[in-house]
Structure formats: structure tokens, C-alpha cells
Amino acid sequence: MSDSTTQKYAIGIDLGGTSTKFGIVDKDGNIIEQDRIPTSSEKPINYFIDELYAKLQPMIDKAGGKEVFIGIGMGAPNGNVYTGNIEYAANLHWKGIVPIAHLVTEKFGIRCSLTNDANAAAMGEMMYGAAKGMKHFITITLGTGVGSGIVIDGKMVVGYDGFAGELGHTIVRHNGRLHKLTGSRGCLEVYASATGVRETAIEFLESNPSTLSLLRNYKEEELTSETVYECAQKGDEIAKNVFDFTGQILGEALANFVMFSSPQAIILFGGLTKSGSFLMNPTKEAMEKNLYQVFKNKVQLVFSNLKESDAAILGASALVL
Amino acid sequence: MSDSTTQKYAIGIDLGGTSTKFGIVDKDGNIIEQDRIPTSSEKPINYFIDELYAKLQPMIDKAGGKEVFIGIGMGAPNGNVYTGNIEYAANLHWKGIVPIAHLVTEKFGIRCSLTNDANAAAMGEMMYGAAKGMKHFITITLGTGVGSGIVIDGKMVVGYDGFAGELGHTIVRHNGRLHKLTGSRGCLEVYASATGVRETAIEFLESNPSTLSLLRNYKEEELTSETVYECAQKGDEIAKNVFDFTGQILGEALANFVMFSSPQAIILFGGLTKSGSFLMNPTKEAMEKNLYQVFKNKVQLVFSNLKESDAAILGASALVL
């Protein structure tokens, strides 16, 4: 019954550590309708699928029923494009292997394809964002964690087993800060995420007890990357040092990524990019400083111009569109 | 005059920091004849081309003249596949941009194609070596320096500007050992090369002045990765610690590379691999320790089974075969 003329929509789902955003997308990349639910991964996966269904099914009905849908594309942490499973995701409570594409397909009666959440966002950037027309780029999500999507020759790099592009887990400081969820030490994610900026602020306040700082007006639980940004804007030295330190580590890591795949651009997105030049300037400086001669002053380092949730929903929908 | 039936040979040239190896290769990947000259990059490039011609032209004549050759493939440090130039190679004295493919084509009257030396070796591994049949792998050359070739989906990764895969220059120890040629600090090459092993041995001897070691029987200028290996074989603790330290850093770097491109295998070759399990065991241990869960116990870490010079000559010839 259904064919390419009646199938005019896709569903894009961005399953994140905290919330899951989803939307109905047409063939031109317009998000017709969107919503979100908490990811609630502390409850069984079927509970989550039921919640998603309760919100999405009315949207599907309104659009004309499942017959008008080409498919469901989903991005999720550790989502494996080959198997359709979420496998050992550190930021989710569901343990081990979760056959989420299969479960969604069964529940909705619409075929679901899965990929890594950061890869979905990179596809969104390539189709509709800062990487439009580019064939070699890397996207780095600076959010609660650090994710990444790598495009080489116009194709997502998924690697031998589908898990390529876990750059947030690369080690940037030998024996450095502990990652409480993975047990590793000194990975990029513990420094260059919103969580990392908060931790750095706490460390800097503790190790400089006699230095005045606006950050001391906050209780420890109130310190976030946003409050650090606000204090930096007011000229606070410790707050600015926090971003200098974060940018130094991020830039060094980006230099290493450039020397791997020689991209035309690196696109940063996620909550931490709201810190603007406080983060961008030291990052760019450290990246250039650590690049081998042949790469210097060639790579564009830019913030994404897509709304974060849009990039991920659009990218996920592009899996099936 | 020439066509695919009369054109039955290729020339493979491996231009290295110290010596340049070259050979005549048939369509089945047999090296018919080979030789080498010193690279002598302290003299002008034309001098080098003339020396190469003096040795190669008699081989070409013997094989039947330039008409029976499909082309010349060359691998060189910082060789750019797009431009045919060697650009800013740290390990060569020729400065700036050297249009070597053009010069060789002119001199020999046979079209010359250029690539990065490590990429040439990776192509040799893919066609004739440990990576035969693999579509996702990384080769790491552990020689005087550290080179790398990256294959994703069966294709060499060259990146946006042709310089992808400079993994020896990635930073593995923030503010670490100085790289005298590039000015960078803490890159992989200063630790996991033959030069790096020698430096580590000198450092360990100096920082443990009261520890007995067979390495003290050598004058400093006699200390090489080979002498360190010989002492390790005799049970020398400092010599074994040198390899443990080297493997720890190399393994950590390899873990980062795995988390980038998710390869099926990493293939190590070059002089330092003669150290066998003294290097392999700590490298493997450190790699596994630093891998994010989804990558653990999946990636083959092996030594190349090709003769080093053969891999590079064969790989270079594969550029045109």
C-alpha cells in the first residue's frame, strides 16, 4: 500500500543521558512537530518505549498514520549502526546490550534504524548545518559528556564494529582526573564537558583558597558551567582560568584529532559552547600550538549554528530519509 | 605504443630519512630487482634525483626500457598524494615544498605518483601483508621516527589536504619530552621510536645512578634500541623498564587511535618491533587498559610479517599498479 509518494515523513529520535527529543521531519528537513520526555533509564527499557509511544503515536496519527512514514531514525549513546543495539552505554542506567531498534520497530510497526547520538548530530550538521557541503569534518559535542562524529570523504566513520568516534574517552592527561562512570583516568570527557568545567572550578577554588572569586558566592551544588561563564563575563579571574584550562586541554585533543584525519573543519556544539570566546580562544590557540607544521592555520574551528536538539533530530531522521 | 599488455612493471620507491629503497615490481607483487641509496637530503634535490637515476635507469633498461613500465610510485615523509610534493618534512633537510613527483617524472620520462611513506607501507600490508583482506586497520611504523597509515572501509585516509595520519606527532604527554626537529613537547615519536628508546635508556640510567645495569657497559653513543633489547634479553632490569615505559606510552596512544576509527587490527612494523614481546606485552596491556568498554579485547595488535623495505616498495608500487 505504502510507496515513495505516500511515504513523506521520517521520525528522528535523539536519546540522550537526561532527556529524549523526537520530532516528525519532512523530506526537505523541516521539523513539523517535536517534543521530549525524560530518558528515565533507571526504569526498565520497556517503560521508556511505552512513554515514547504515548507521546509519539498521537503525532503519527495526526500526520496520517504509520503508512506515511519512511522510517524511524534514532541516535543514542553507544548506538551501534550494525546491530541496532545500545551497547554498554556509560551514561545510561540500562546495562549491557539493549536491542532498542528492534523494540521500537515492534512497538510502532515502523522500521527503526539506530546510530551513535554524536554521529546523528554530525549527519545533521552535514545536511543542514555548518558542515554543509564538506566531506571531511569532525563534530564534537560538549555537553554533560563529550561525544564526537567523524566524517571522512563524505561518509560517517563507523569502523570495523560500528563504534568509531568515541573521542570523549581518549586519554589527554596520563593518570589524570578519574572518570567516575568508566574508571578511566584523564580522558577528554572529564575536562571538556559541562561536568568537567564544574569540577575544574571546584578544584581551582580549593587550590587557591586565598584568591577572591565571584564563584565563592555560590554553594558547591550551584556551580555549573553556566555560573562559571557568568562569573567570567563579569571579569572573574578564576572563572576565566577555568575556561583557559579547559580550552588548553580541548585544543590539544583537537590537534591530535586533526593529525589523525586531516579534516577541513571541526564543529563544536552542545551546552558548553554557550561560553563563546572564553572557551573558543584558548581552544584555538592550544590546537594551533600543538599541530604539526603541515596542519597549522588550515582547519576551521567553529561553533555549530544549528539548535542542538534540531541537529540531533534532523541527523537521526537522515538515517532513513 | 605502450599499452596494458606491454606495460608489465611498476617501480616502487621508499624515500626514508636515512636511505631510499627502490625496486622493480611485477603485476603479481614480486620484487624483480631492488637496491638502495643514501637519501642525502643535505644536498640539493636535483643531486638526489641524479643519484636515483644513475642506479635505477640501468634496471629499467634491463627490464625492457621505459615503455614496459606503468609508472613510478613513491612513498616519502610528508608526501602529498594530491600535489605530488614533499611538504615541510621534519626528517629531511630539503626545506619547504619539494615537487618531487614532477622532478622524477621529468627525469625518467615515466609518470610518478607520490604518497606519504607510511601510507605506502600500509598499502603494502593491505595487498600483501598482515592486513590482507582487512578493510579497517592502522599501521604504525616504529623506526627512527613514528609513522602511520590509516585504512577505513578499504581506503587510505588522506583527509582534506592529503596529510592525514601523522600519528607520530600526536601529543601523548602534556609538556613532555622535547621533539628537537618540530619543537613540540610530548609527542608519540619522541618516546616510541628507536631514538626515543635510546633517550629513555639514557634518562633511566641517569635517574637511577646507583642501580647496576648492563647498559652501563656501553658508551652513550653506543646506546641504541638494539643494545637496550640485547640487555633486556639478558634480564637487565633497567633495559626491561625502558620497554615497559615505551609500551605503556605506545599502548595508551594506540587506545586513543582505536577510539577514533575502531579498526579491526593495528599492525606494527619498523626496527623497534625486533624487541618482540619486551615491547608487545606492555603495549598490549596499556592499550587494553585505556580502551573504553566497547572496544576491549576486540582489536588485533600484531607485528607485520613483511620485510620492512618490501612493504614500502610494494606499497609504493601499488600506487600505480
- Say whether residue A117 is in contact with chain B using an 8 A CB cutoff: no
Distance from CA of B104 to the nearest CA of A (A): 23
Architecture of the domain made up of A9-124+310-318: 2-Layer Sandwich (3.30)
Pairwise CA distance, residues B90 & B125, whole Å: 25
Architecture of the domain made up of A132-304: 2-Layer Sandwich (3.30)
- Say whether residue A201 is in contact with chain B using an 8 A CB cutoff: no
Average pLDDT, chain A: 94
Phi–psi pair at B38, nearest 5 degrees: -65, 145
Pairwise CA distance, residues B156 & A4, whole Å: 36
Cβ contact, residue pair B171, A293, below 8 Å: no
Cβ contact, residue pair B293, A263, below 8 Å: no
User: Is pLDDT of A212 > 90?
Assistant: yes
Cβ contact, residue pair A159, B152, below 8 Å: yes
- Say whether residue B47 is in contact with chain A using an 8 A CB cutoff: no
DSSP-based three-state secondary structure for A269: strand
Higher pLDDT, A161 or A258: A258
Domains B9-124+310-318 and B133-304 fall in the same CATH topology: yes
- Which of B160, B252, B257 is opposite residue A136, by nearest beta carbon? B160
Specify the CATH superfamily of domain B133-304. ATPase, nucleotide binding domain (3.30.420.40)
The pLDDT value given to residue B305: 85
- For chains A and B, CB pairs below 8 A equal 129
- Say whether residue A172 is in contact with chain B using an 8 A CB cutoff: yes
Cβ contact, residue pair B261, A150, below 8 Å: yes
Q: Closest by alpha carbon to A188, among A125, A234, A235, A138?
A: A138
Task: Find out whether A17 and A78 touch, Cβ atoms under 8 Å.
Answer: no
Cβ contact, residue pair B174, A170, below 8 Å: no
A25 forms beta bridges with: A10, A31
Residue B174 — pLDDT band, cuts 50, 70, 90?
very high
- Which of B157, B255, B262 is opposite residue A160, by nearest beta carbon? B262
Percentage of residues in chain B having pLDDT higher than 70: 98
Tell me the per-residue pLDDT of B48-83, one tens digit each, with 9 for 90 and over. 999 999 999 999 999 999 999 999 999 998 899 999
User: Is pLDDT of B1 > 60?
Assistant: no
Percentage of residues in chain A having pLDDT higher than 90: 83
- Say whether residue B165 is in contact with chain A using an 8 A CB cutoff: yes
Q: Which residue of A has its CA nearest to B163?
A: A262
- Say whether residue B132 is in contact with chain A using an 8 A CB cutoff: no
Average pLDDT, chain B: 94
The pLDDT value given to residue A3: 55
Pairwise CA distance, residues B109 & A263, whole Å: 35
| Best to test chain B binding among A116, A258, A293 (most B CBs inside 10 Å) | A293
Domain ranges of chain B: 9-124+310-318, 133-304
- Say whether residue A259 is in contact with chain B using an 8 A CB cutoff: yes
Mean pLDDT in residue range B16-22: 90
- Return the exposure string of A49-64: e unless at least 16 CB atoms fall within 10 Å of the residue's CB, then b: bebbeeebeebbeebe
Mean pLDDT in residue range A189-200: 97
Cell numbers given for A180? 567516575
From residue B42, alpha-carbon distances to A8, A266, B50, B103, B278 in Å are 65, 37, 14, 17, 36
ipTM above 0.95 for this complex = no
Tell me the per-residue pLDDT of A281-293, one tens digit each, with 9 for 90 and over. 999 999 999 999 9
